[in-house]
Amino acid sequence: MIRRPFLRLPARMNTLQTPLLTLAVHEALLKARSAGGGTLECSLDLGLSRVSVDVGEDAWRCDGRDFPFMAACKERTVYWWTGAGFEPVSRYSGSLIKLVPTDWGPPTFEIDGIKMLPTAQVSPYADAERKVGLIQPAGKAILDTCGGLGYFAAWCLRGGARQVASFEKNPDVIWLRTLNPWSPTHSGADANPAFSLTNADVSEQIATLPSASFDAALHDPPRFGIAGELYSQAFYDQLARVLRPRGRLFHYTGSPNKLTSGRDVPREVANRLQKAGFATQLEGDGVLAVKGGGPSARRGQAGLRALR
């Protein structure tokens, strides 16, 4: 069950044309049928809202349409209505990419079984809210390097950002966004004109962006072993180039176990960012940085003063 009945909604959410089912909803529908049918209140958009469903013996009805009961439903899977049946929200093109439900409502996603967003202690949507707050988005042009499901972008727009330019390398992840009601709409009449989403590798595209064209940046790359180029000195130098003086950056690193990995990734990231001209401060599961600290802006009081 969802731990928090409602979260604050995205600035512009996807308008779904399909119900989304999870194991919890599937079991609630079956239970209602076993009890003789009737009306069931549930969520068909991953906790974003609740609707009344009429449950019969052979089908259930919502918004004037009949839908069949699923023959089987797996845990950790979101199903969407294709028009002919319910299918997992997943794709395989070299890697298995799937939308994964959470106890919080807003889903995460996985690539080959590797979870891409934190969910154990906090909603991935609420986690994005906290991190976006670190860069103070109001009135700013923001670079969102690795868009994922778009939760960073959603909170930037909600926080009054003037412009949000997102990049996402994987077209299958962008497809997931079209079915995720918690992702901001990136095309069509409902799209926010302040928001753009480009299907491209930001490690390559960043060199084409004008210098000093962004006020802040959010960098949420896959883990180092998958995308080492997004942790490189060359990439950090480009981040410094496209940010204006005093521009803020939050770099998600996760919390890798240095005892087992032999590496302290957050410290390595902070050191490279300092070489690129940032003042840095370790912040939760990432690094908060401000352009202009220069190589001499070490952790401690010099870095903290620059980040105020």
pLDDT value at 113 more than 90: no
- Above pLDDT 70, what percent of the chain? 87
**Average of pLDDT values for 218-230?**
89
Question: What is the reported pLDDT for 125?
Answer: 96
Looking at residue 12, its pLDDT comes to: 41
Tell me the residue ranges of DSSP E strands in the chain: 20-21, 38-42, 51-55, 59-62, 65-68, 79-81, 86-88, 90-92, 96-100, 108-111, 114-115, 141-144, 163-168, 195-199, 214-219, 243-252, 278-283, 286-291
- Whether 263 shows a pLDDT value over 90: the answer reads no
Predicted confidence band at 116 (pLDDT cuts at 50, 70, 90)? confident
pLDDT at 221: 94
- Amino acid letter for position 176: L
Quick: pLDDT tens for 88-100: 999 998 889 999 9
Alpha carbon distance 233, 96 (integer Å)? 30
pLDDT of residue 189: 78
User: Angle of helix 265-275 relative to helix 233-242, nearest 10 degrees?
Assistant: 50
C-alpha–C-alpha distance, residues 284 and 250, integer Å: 11
In this prediction the pTM is 0.88
pLDDT over 50 (residue 133) = yes
